[in-house]
Structure 1
Amino acid sequence: MSSGEGKVIAVRWLAMVLLLVCGMLSARASAEVRAWFDRSSVSMGETVTLNIESATTEQPDFSALEKDFRISARSTNTQVQIINGAMARTNLWAVALEPLHEGVIAVAPITVGNDQTAPLSLAVKPMARGSAAAGDDVFLEVEADTTTPYVQQQVAYTVRLFYAVSLLEGNLDDPSGTGLQVRRMGEDVNYSRQIGGRRYNVVERRYAISADHSGSATINAVSFRGRVAAGGRGGFFSQGSPVSTGSETITLDVRPVPASAPQPWTPAQALRLSDNAAQLPAQVKVGDALELTVTAEATGLSAEQLPELSLPAIAGAEVYPDQETRDTAIVDGKLVGKRTRKFAILPQQPGTLNLPERSLSWWNLATDQAQRSILPARSITVVAGAATKVAETSTPRADSSQAPAAPEAHDAPIVSPGYWRPLAVLLAVLWLATLLAGYLWARRGRSEPRDETDPEPVKLWRPALAHALTRSDLSAARRALLRLNPKSGDLHDLAEALEDPDQRAALQALERALYRGDSAEGVVEQLRNAFARTP
């Protein structure tokens, strides 16, 4: 063998040794850490399990997964084997991942200690639409009572979760969408249903959804994620297997407010306007308060969507609106909003008090046209009060200096004739004592400063005013302040009797707020500051 041939053979042998060493190193690297998905493709809303196997005890770095997946659960399992008399330890990590987007997701190598996994890929398909096929363990169903609502019209949206396995835990998302107002209605309803020969438990949840603007609006798919007690994928999880499913999306074609619709826009399936005018007395006196209660109740609207209740000016009377009460209930799967307001009506003069006709215009969704709910007019007779009658009809009695007329023979004597002189003396003494007491009291009032810390009027009105302001009750505050001067028929008269400009301004603000139904917050603070001083 020549020297040249020997060199060639040596090079070939060296190359073979190098290839063998590289293969052994590669095999060792792949044996050190291995990664795989339990499925090659999934749908949006489903989870997939990523398995990582390694001989090292160091934890894998899963941070690279967070941009493409939501990590919902993790589990670790350790296996020990005896191979050719030597103990081999293998650690297995299982991670439940939910894709964040559709398409082919490329998973970069994951670092485990000093090693890295091979790159992986996962195909993610769109979320399965509609109810799952017969035999699925868990699926969702959604429906809307209309897909062509008006702006602000209530859409009854129902979500039903069907499951035929034992759920350990779960989370059902609420519906959402751009430009949509979503309100949950009532509590979950639980029942069972037979589907395809299989018994399913059902959780039904209801929502009221309304659109802020006309045009196309999408109610996004609803997702469910949970764990089942047995079966399903992901056998590495000791606390059950993960399960998830999703619903279909629903597109709404939202119609604008009709041109012929009355304002404010009030779309309802039914609306009832009522009051207690029929229960009010047919006749009252001047100054006696009448309490009129008006209620608007609508099906398909919340209380906040109903227009504010008001009462027009009434000739010959003052009107003071009380604070409004609002209530929204769920009746037969629909929102029922109720708005109630009380009005204090104070007649100011004798005659006929006419409650005018009151109405509320709204859009009837059942007939798809405008409608008007009307409260009829009511007339009430107002007579003069007792104090007015006394002022008009009373006349002075005969002068006390005149001798009393002799009683008629048939009249019984009021006082026995033998006692009238002592009685007259006693009355004269009492009269003189009254004059003297009045004189002394007047001098005391001029010589001594008035004690303004606890005058008698304060005992009557100040606690009542403080209590009313604490509750932000403007009607009660008005009643308390009128105690300052019982002769004042209204706040206007009381304001004219006061000298403090801040107190007069506070009374004017109170009167405006009562009439217009403004917020009580600013008026309460103004009254509290102004009447911290005794008038």
Structure 2
Amino acid sequence: MNRLSFGKRIASSWLYIALILSALVSTQAMAAQAEATVSKNVVGVNEVFQLTVSVDDSVNTNSLDLTPLSPDFTYGRPSISSGTSMINGVISRNTSWTVALAATKVGTFTIPAFQIGSSKTDPITITVLKSAKQSQSAQANQSSISIEGINDKSTIYVGESINYRVRILIGEQMDQASLAPPYGDGLTATQVGQDAQNEVVQNGRRYIVITRNYQITADKPGSITLHGAKFSGSVIKGSRGFGSTLTMPVDKTAKNIELTVKAKPANYQGLWLPTPDLQLQQTWQPTFNDNTEVNAKVGEPITRTLTLRIKNIAQSSMPNISLTYPNTVRSYNEKPEYSESNGYTIMTLKQVIIPRETGKVVLPEIAINWWNTQTEKEQVTKVTGLTLDVTADPNASATIVPPALTTPEAAQTSPKADSHLPAIQNGVMHSGYWPWATAVFALLWLITLTLLIKARKAQSNTNTKSIQTTVNTDIDKALQQALAERDAIKVQTYFKQWKQQQQAKLATNPELASELDNAVAEIMASTYSQDRQQWDDKRFQQLLKQVAQLKMTSSQHSALSGLDPK
């Protein structure tokens, strides 16, 4: 029984291996692709041209049967080549047959499909003329280069964009090729992405295919003609070996397209955004799991990332998202990042929000009005806001812990302190060391109280200088110190106080004031964004020097003299 069982196991193992091998062989046969190409589609009677049949596999060289060519063509002995190559660890094999053909009579004939294993080539149509000269003339007139423009829709709204795809087929060797974009009155064409290039075989001819995409945006309503893209270059004619070559200019233009551009509805309110699809998403860092109310701490940054995706809209038409946050938080926006994907223009905006005070803080929702070009109705897309329950951060700054207080009353009421009671010695009542202990405790209490008062004053000054305001009349020094310590929050705080003191000077140069605000915003962005970077204060220091060089007029001096706290 054991031998019989063992024999069955061996037999089943061999059967399993055979099934795997047969599956691999059948998979390779199914994966193999056969292809037939010719050097010319238009030939003269008895003019020799070339037929190439190839299959991307290693097959028997006798697999190609050329006898179906006999009625209409004469052919010679095929030249056979095969090879194996390995690219990036992938092995590829190829077998090809090259044979010379000549048509025996005038007319239109078909080179039949060839069966090679499980693969089959496509048939090829050949036009045969009376002479080789006629075939050359017909070949020259035949379009070996073509261009077409494809648009995804013909009816749009003002401000809406369409995708226009240019597809060029090149079947000749070319030089100095160029492509002019489409154009039209009231239309703006912008190239999107990079050109794509591949190869195709059509009716036995191999072509290089170049694809380029444009975004066409309508700037005014009406019926507008979109003139097709134009392809220009020089085709190289002549022998590939010795002999002269001839270059012939070629200009091909895609067909024109008629567009109907609708006007903005008269009753529409707000920013005009015509699109078939608008998506607005947001994420929070830290992650709050879609809670409407979360806990936060003073000085702890929160990043709000907004992603806006709009279809058929140019980047220049994307809305500028601007929010007004309460004064209890500091906020700033990073520069938006733009990208393109599948007809969508995508804008990503990061906002950093830093709570300044404890309590409830409401961060507003965001709502965008837009016009749905499919339903032809106004829509609103929004994301919810967030309520912060802000508490103080115990680790925000070091605090001085005062020593524990020991009061005389506490010492007196201690039941275990027997030595504190008067003692009777030698018939005379003595007070013991209680008066001395009382004096010592009183002295310690006064020292402790003094230290506590000083500690509280020091802590108050530290907190005041670090977050809120400063009593230092020379705010310049405090600002410079904050820059030296590279403390972004202090820089922003002292800058606001410094700006109030310098408002008379800054009023004479609003442009300089705006540059200062931008410089501080860049410092905050470098410090509190998710990708934190080292910030450089050189530009900020240069702007401060420019303000110091500004001079106020006499009228400004007199107007501000009454407000001088000195």
TM-score (norm 1): 0.51
From 382, 388, 391, the counterpart of 1:374: 382
Structure-1 residue corresponding to 2:505: 502
The change in CA–CA distance for 1:390 and 1:197 in structure 2 (over 3 A counts) is closer
Structure-1 residue corresponding to 2:304: 292
State the alpha-carbon separation in 2 of the partners of residues 366 and 284 from structure 1: 43
The letter for the 2-side match of 1:175 is P
Matched, 1:282 2:282: no
The change in CA–CA distance for 1:503 and 1:157 in structure 2 (over 3 A counts) is closer
The letter for the 1-side match of 2:295 is Q
> How do 1:297-336 and structure 2 match up within 5 A?
297-314=309-326, 317-329=328-340, 331-332=341-342, 334-336=343-345
TM-aligned CA deviation for residue 327 of structure 1: 0.8
> How do 1:198-347 and structure 2 match up within 5 A?
198-230=205-237, 238=245, 240-277=247-284, 279-280=287-288, 282-286=294-298, 288-314=300-326, 317-329=328-340, 331-332=341-342, 334-347=343-356
Secondary structure in structure 1 of the residue aligned to 2:367: strand
State the alpha-carbon separation in 2 of the partners of residues 282 and 505 from structure 1: 44
Q: Identity of counterpart residues, as a percentage?
A: 22
Structure-2 residue corresponding to 1:5: none
Secondary structure in structure 1 of the residue aligned to 2:160: coil
Q: Is the 8 A contact 1:301 1:337 kept in 2?
A: no
TM-aligned CA deviation for residue 182 of structure 1: 1.1
Unaligned runs of 5+ in 1: 1-131, 412-420, 436-449, 466-475, 485-490
Secondary structure in structure 1 of the residue aligned to 2:156: coil
Q: Is the 8 A contact 1:220 1:249 kept in 2?
A: yes
Q: Is the 8 A contact 2:225 2:259 kept in 1?
A: yes
Q: Is the 8 A contact 1:349 1:384 kept in 2?
A: yes
State the alpha-carbon separation in 2 of the partners of residues 133 and 257 from structure 1: 50
State the alpha-carbon separation in 1 of the partners of residues 310 and 541 from structure 2: 32
Q: Is the 8 A contact 2:355 2:390 kept in 1?
A: no
Structure-2 residue corresponding to 1:187: 194
State the alpha-carbon separation in 1 of the partners of residues 405 and 189 from structure 2: 81
Q: What do the CA deviations read for 1:169-203 (whole angstroms, capped 9, x no partner)? A: 41222222232211101111122344455443221
TM-aligned CA deviation for residue 288 of structure 1: 4.4
Q: Is the 8 A contact 2:300 2:355 kept in 1?
A: yes
State the alpha-carbon separation in 2 of the partners of residues 382 and 504 from structure 1: 36
State the alpha-carbon separation in 1 of the partners of residues 370 and 541 from structure 2: 34
Q: Is the 8 A contact 2:334 2:350 kept in 1?
A: yes
Matched, 1:173 2:180: yes
The letter for the 2-side match of 1:354 is V
Structure-2 residue corresponding to 1:529: 546
Structure-2 residue corresponding to 1:461: 483
TM-aligned CA deviation for residue 264 of structure 1: 0.6
Q: Is the 8 A contact 1:360 1:374 kept in 2?
A: yes
Structure-2 residue corresponding to 1:140: 147
Q: Is the 8 A contact 1:309 1:341 kept in 2?
A: no
Q: What do the CA deviations read for 1:147-170 (whole angstroms, capped 9, x no partner)? A: 211112111111111122222341
State the alpha-carbon separation in 2 of the partners of residues 283 and 177 from structure 1: 56
Q: Is the 8 A contact 2:167 2:210 kept in 1?
A: yes
Number of residue pairs matched?
343
The change in CA–CA distance for 1:457 and 1:136 in structure 2 (over 3 A counts) is closer
State the alpha-carbon separation in 1 of the partners of residues 264 and 516 from structure 2: 34
Unaligned runs of 5+ in 2: 1-138, 418-439, 455-471, 526-538, 551-566
State the alpha-carbon separation in 2 of the partners of residues 312 and 257 from structure 1: 29
The change in CA–CA distance for 1:210 and 1:512 in structure 2 (over 3 A counts) is same
State the alpha-carbon separation in 2 of the partners of residues 272 and 504 from structure 1: 42
Structure-2 residue corresponding to 1:480: 491
TM-aligned CA deviation for residue 298 of structure 1: 1.8
State the alpha-carbon separation in 2 of the partners of residues 410 and 531 from structure 1: 70
- Output the aligned Cα RMSD: 5.3
Q: Is the 8 A contact 1:229 1:240 kept in 2?
A: yes
State the alpha-carbon separation in 1 of the partners of residues 197 and 352 from structure 2: 44
Structure-1 residue corresponding to 2:368: 360
Q: Is the 8 A contact 1:322 1:344 kept in 2?
A: no
Q: Is the 8 A contact 2:299 2:354 kept in 1?
A: no
The letter for the 2-side match of 1:282 is V
State the alpha-carbon separation in 2 of the partners of residues 376 and 269 from structure 1: 23
State the alpha-carbon separation in 1 of the partners of residues 377 and 323 from structure 2: 26
Q: What do the CA deviations read for 1:439-481 (whole angstroms, capped 9, x no partner)? A: xxxxxxxxxxx9x9x967624326859xxxxxxxxxx6x7524
Secondary structure in structure 1 of the residue aligned to 2:483: helix
TM-aligned CA deviation for residue 273 of structure 1: 1.4
Q: What do the CA deviations read for 1:187-230 (whole angstroms, capped 9, x no partner)? A: 11122344455443221111001111111222223322222232
Q: Is the 8 A contact 2:180 2:230 kept in 1?
A: yes
The letter for the 2-side match of 1:292 is R
Structure-1 residue corresponding to 2:357: 348
Q: Is the 8 A contact 2:307 2:346 kept in 1?
A: no
Q: What do the CA deviations read for 1:304-357 (whole angstroms, capped 9, x no partner)? A: 32111122343x62453323313122x23x24231414142534342x222233
TM-aligned CA deviation for residue 495 of structure 1: 5.1
Structure-2 residue corresponding to 1:38: none
The change in CA–CA distance for 1:309 and 1:407 in structure 2 (over 3 A counts) is farther
State the alpha-carbon separation in 2 of the partners of residues 248 and 299 from structure 1: 25
